[in-house]
Structure 1
Amino acid sequence: MEVEFPDDFRCPISLEVMTDPVILSSGHTFDRASIQRWLDSGNRTCPVTKLPLPPSPSLIPNHALRSLISHFTPNLSSKSPPCSSSSSSSSFPRELVSSLSFPSDPDSLAAVLRLVKRSAAFRRLVADSGATAVLLRHAAARVCPDLQELSLRAILHLTLDGDDARVALVAEGAVDAAAAALNSGCAAAALAATTLTSLATVEVNKCTIGAHPTAIAGLAALLREGGGRERREAATALYELCKFPENRRRTVAAGAVPALVEFAGAGSERAVQVLGLVAKCQEGRQEIRKLDGFVRVLTAVLRVGSSRGVEHALLALNLLCSDNKDMALQAIKEGALELCLPLLGHENGKIGKNAVTLARTLQKMQLGCSV
């Protein structure tokens, strides 16, 4: 009797069941041989989306899908390449991974965490075996906080293995797990935000995380309701995500701007950095202008902030004052013009340039009001 394979098991190019599925930078999965032929023929677009690819596209093993295909068709498992790492030759790591299941126990997950911390070979073993799926299920489950925290810590270490590992984790469902954990207790929520930051350092992941229905909303909620550590981690995740333009609008829509302004007023320069990015979109500027005291917060950063904080405060003030008279007058009242003058020749070129632009804007506004 012929086996009926799910469509997801078939390569979009060859339409055959994949034996070595790999993820292209577009986020779509293909059989390695098929996509390699496509690239070797000189094509530099994704066969599915038709969007351009980078000059040397990475082909990232889709371990989760390979494991599913292997379990669905046992005869394909024999094609899996053996693990060549000498450090994984010990039987204990393999036995640990093979016995890992959901629900697990604290001792097993603690052992996994110890090994992923210190062994790149074990991290590859976890990915190759499909054990990541067990960690992700625990990371999303709030019923046992200890297991959730252990799993999140292990996943965070898996993200540190480079961009290929980060893209593969997102393909396996890491964003779903982290987004669910944002609504958990303090320790788990902070770890989830840190995990999203690490995943978002890859450009394609910024888009995927931003498009998730609850990820940015969860970070905004954590920024409003969390403690000091949770707010810092949420702001850092939003900073990384808002480097992708569409995520700035999503951050505004999630209601994060008031919390960012409040956090910036409490001394968080990371929040100032996020606001500098958010102010680049029209929706962000409109939302910021609704809030009392925002200009006062930014001018305070100009007085006492670090170089990085000053750079982003100047950026935000430029964006807000360049086309809005009320904002410019508020900035003049708060002393922003006087604060710009010592920064005009700053060794940091961005600070000097933004200080010159802001000073000119405010001087023009000042002269216009005095006429």
Structure 2
Amino acid sequence: MEIRLLSKHKPENRVKIAEAGAIKPLVSLISSSDPLLQEYGVTAILNLSLCDENKDLIASSGAVKPLVWALKMGTPTAKENAACALLRLSQLEDNKIAIGRSGAIPLLVNLLETGGFRAKKDASTALYSLCSAKENKIRAVEAGIMKPLVELMADFGSNMVDKSAFVMSLLMSVPESKAAVVEEGGVPVLVEIVEDGTQRQKEMAVSILLQICEESVVYRTMVAREGAIPPLVALSQAGGTSRAKHKAEALIELLRQPRSHSY
């Protein structure tokens, strides 16, 4: 607990604590059967990971698997802090694949669905970082990420619309993601955001809809039937960014194409 507090309140202590050899014993504590001891270990590792110089050492000390274990079996605080620590480690490119292959992604998706606000926020940010790697995008879609993303985007009071839309947009580069969005009822939610969201939310929603519709006449028909064209026209004529207007115009053009072709 003392190391956790020292590493939290005084950033200059983070390098000193790591140089003193604290990381390996702290990593071992993350696998403790004592929930409070595990929580302290996770939190101390998180605090030390806030220093860029420590990230490599933490990863090379075998922290990833114990952090994933804490993400699965820990207290709510341990889960939140494990997600945040994995986020910090994933900021090094070499760690993204290792974290993805460790089984972290389904657990982060579960935290995104069932956790409190802070847990959802940490999970979504960690998933965004991890899913810059293609194989992690596929893992996230297979883990059912679209369900919680759609639910959070449908709830304007969740304060998670932007974060969820950023993650969903990142996942659109893998074909499996588009069908998953549609299957989870994402089309009407995205159209609602184009109509009632903030300017940034509207732009992200249009970008996602455009990618969904690009290669599918069936999806174009679905989006058009949800009444997307009027809010898209309004967006293309409004005072938003030129990028948002361009995307809205491109999507309008797609939706107005003949729909007699097969999928």
TM-score by length of 1: 0.63
- 1:319 Cα deviation from its structure 2 partner: 1.1
Residues 320 and 207 (structure 1), Cα distance of their counterparts in 2 relative to 1, 3 Å cut: same
RMSD in angstroms over aligned alpha carbons?
A: 2.2
SS state at 1:223 partner = helix
Determine the structure 2 residue equivalent to 1:135.
Answer: 26
SS state at 2:256 partner = helix
2:231 to 339, 342, 354: 339
Tell me which amino acid in the other structure corresponds to 1:322: E
Determine the structure 2 residue equivalent to 1:230.
Answer: 119
Determine the structure 1 residue equivalent to 2:51.
Answer: 161
- Aligned ranges 1:192-211 → 2 under 5 Å: 192-211=82-101
Determine the structure 1 residue equivalent to 2:172.
Answer: 279
Alpha-carbon distance in structure 2 between the residues aligned to 1:243 and 1:256: 15
Tell me whether 1:257 sits opposite 2:134 in the alignment.
no
Q: Percent identity?
A: 29
Residues 353 and 140 (structure 1), Cα distance of their counterparts in 2 relative to 1, 3 Å cut: farther
Residues 167 and 308 (structure 1), Cα distance of their counterparts in 2 relative to 1, 3 Å cut: farther
1:61-91: CA deviation from partner (whole Å, max 9, x where unpaired)? xxxxxxxxxxxxxxxxxxxxxxxxxxxxxxx
SS state at 1:243 partner = coil
1:133-157: CA deviation from partner (whole Å, max 9, x where unpaired)? 122222333x323222222222222
Alpha-carbon distance in structure 2 between the residues aligned to 1:310 and 1:326: 22
1:97-116: CA deviation from partner (whole Å, max 9, x where unpaired)? xxxxxxxxxxxx2x112211
Tell me which amino acid in the other structure corresponds to 1:150: Y
Residues 167 and 353 (structure 1), Cα distance of their counterparts in 2 relative to 1, 3 Å cut: farther
CA contact (8 A) 2:233 2:248 kept: yes
Alpha-carbon distance in structure 2 between the residues aligned to 1:231 and 1:120: 26
1:314-360: CA deviation from partner (whole Å, max 9, x where unpaired)? 22111111112222122112222221223326543432332222121
1:314 to 206, 209, 213: 206
Runs of 4+ in 1 over 6 A off after TM superposition: none
Residues 204 and 307 (structure 1), Cα distance of their counterparts in 2 relative to 1, 3 Å cut: farther
- 1:129 Cα deviation from its structure 2 partner: 2.6
Alpha-carbon distance in structure 2 between the residues aligned to 1:295 and 1:313: 9
CA contact (8 A) 1:295 1:331 kept: yes
1:187 to 77, 82, 87: 77
1:248-283: CA deviation from partner (whole Å, max 9, x where unpaired)? 111112222222222222333222221112222012
Tell me whether 1:302 sits opposite 2:194 in the alignment.
yes
Alpha-carbon distance in structure 2 between the residues aligned to 1:126 and 1:351: 48
1:215-240: CA deviation from partner (whole Å, max 9, x where unpaired)? 11211222233333322321221112
- Aligned ranges 1:86-165 → 2 under 5 Å: 109=1, 111-141=2-32, 143-162=33-52, 164-165=53-54
Tell me whether 1:361 sits opposite 2:254 in the alignment.
yes
Determine the structure 1 residue equivalent to 2:215.
Answer: 323
Residues 263 and 289 (structure 1), Cα distance of their counterparts in 2 relative to 1, 3 Å cut: same
SS state at 1:323 partner = coil
Tell me which amino acid in the other structure corresponds to 2:227: G
- 1:295 Cα deviation from its structure 2 partner: 0.5
Alpha-carbon distance in structure 2 between the residues aligned to 1:159 and 1:349: 39
CA contact (8 A) 2:71 2:80 kept: yes
CA contact (8 A) 2:169 2:204 kept: yes
CA contact (8 A) 1:329 1:365 kept: no
- 1:180 Cα deviation from its structure 2 partner: 1.0
1:173 to 35, 51, 62: 62
Alpha-carbon distance in structure 2 between the residues aligned to 1:360 and 1:306: 23
Residues 169 and 299 (structure 1), Cα distance of their counterparts in 2 relative to 1, 3 Å cut: same
Tell me which amino acid in the other structure corresponds to 2:87: T
Alpha-carbon distance in structure 2 between the residues aligned to 1:355 and 1:150: 49
Tell me which amino acid in the other structure corresponds to 1:342: A
- 1:365 Cα deviation from its structure 2 partner: 4.4
CA contact (8 A) 2:39 2:75 kept: no
Alpha-carbon distance in structure 2 between the residues aligned to 1:198 and 1:308: 26
Question: Which stretches in structure 2 are left out of the alignment for 5+ residues?
Answer: none
CA contact (8 A) 1:272 1:313 kept: yes
Determine the structure 2 residue equivalent to 1:242.
Answer: 131
Quick one: higher RCO (CA 8 Å, sep 6+), 1 or 2?
2
- 1:131 Cα deviation from its structure 2 partner: 1.0
CA contact (8 A) 2:181 2:187 kept: no
